[in-house]
Amino acid sequence: MAKFLYIDTSGETAIVALSNNETILAIEQNNQANSHAAFLQIAVKKLMDKACIPFVDLDAIVVTMGPGSYTGLRVGLSSAKGIAYALNKPLIGLSTLALLKEHANNHEQVVQNKNKVQIFSMIDAKRMEVFGAVYKADNSVVIAPKAIVLEASYLQKLLQNGPVICCGNAITKTKEILKHPNLYFIETPYNIDNMVHLAQTKWATKDFEDIAYSSPAYLKEFYQIPSKKS
């Protein structure tokens, strides 16, 4: 019976949760993206107290590695690393793009067209750029995670190989670029159930992160506008 602590501060909504195998024991969420750092440690302690589980009884710490918010990823991963190191427990890293793909698996078009459908996971990277990856229904990777400039021609090229399902918080601007009968959109974000499923898969294969050297999947360098004072 594997007990996992989950930390996801990669996006607008932060999730902290506990599971025992496939069962969710407790969950806390924060919907204010600029306050994830203040929320995180308090939420972890609240969860552990509520579930009456000592930290030493955890089997692994699960954290989203990105892509996503630069600040959020640093906050989540540093906290997850600290807990895993202190407890000498494995660290399981989850790709936010893979989580979106997992969430899309039950979409009608995926079920009906498993051999042809493509799942385009996309996270907003401002302007007309996204952090994206394209998967097949069998989990194979068509396009590895990278920064992608959204253009109608890019989507049309994908559509030549079959229906495309877009999922993630960048679908709003994707809808404005192209309308096509084989282009579909999933409005809802991934959830804790998707995190549990992927974490269990990685646990079974002992696919763990190196606590000392793992880093967030930013996919491109962070640029900060210089202060006018400097």
Count of structural domains, the chain: 2
- Residue 65's pLDDT is 97
Domain that holds residue 67: 3-95+190-204
CB neighbours of residue 83 within 10 Å? 19
Q: Do residues 77 and 123 share a domain?
A: no
Q: Do residues 55 and 101 share a domain?
A: no
Give the whole-angstrom CA distance, residue 99 versus residue 194: 6
Contact between 47 and 58 (Cβ < 8 Å): no
Distance of CA 19 to the CA centre of its chain: 17
- Residue 147's pLDDT is 94
Nearest to 64 by CA among 31, 91, 29, 90: 91
- Mean pLDDT, rounded, for 55-84: 96
- Residue 221's pLDDT is 58
Q: Do residues 179 and 73 share a domain?
A: no
pLDDT above 50 for 224 = no
Q: Do residues 90 and 148 share a domain?
A: no
Question: What CATH number does the domain containing 120 carry?
Answer: 3.30.420.40
- pLDDT tens per residue, range 166-221: 999 999 999 999 999 999 999 999 999 999 999 999 999 999 999 999 999 998 75
Q: Judging by beta carbons within 10 Å of its beta carbon (0-12, 13-18, 19+), is residue 227 exposed, middle or buried?
A: exposed
Instruction: Tell me what the pLDDT averaged over the chain comes to.
Output: 92
| Torsion angle of C-alpha atoms 29, 30, 36, 41, degrees rounded to 10 | -50
Give the whole-angstrom CA distance, residue 149 versus residue 80: 32
Q: Do residues 108 and 182 share a domain?
A: yes
Q: Do residues 22 and 77 share a domain?
A: yes
Strands (E), the chain: 3-8, 14-20, 23-30, 60-66, 91-95, 118-124, 129-136, 141-149, 164-167, 183-186
- Mean pLDDT, rounded, for 73-83: 96
Contact between 61 and 89 (Cβ < 8 Å): yes
Q: Percent of the chain scored above 70 by pLDDT?
A: 96
Cα–Cα distances in angstroms (integers) from residue 72 to residues 100, 127, 132, in the given order? 18, 20, 18
Domain-embedded: residue 227: no
Q: Against a cut of 0.75, is the pTM above it? A: yes
Domain-embedded: residue 31: yes
- Residue 34's pLDDT is 87
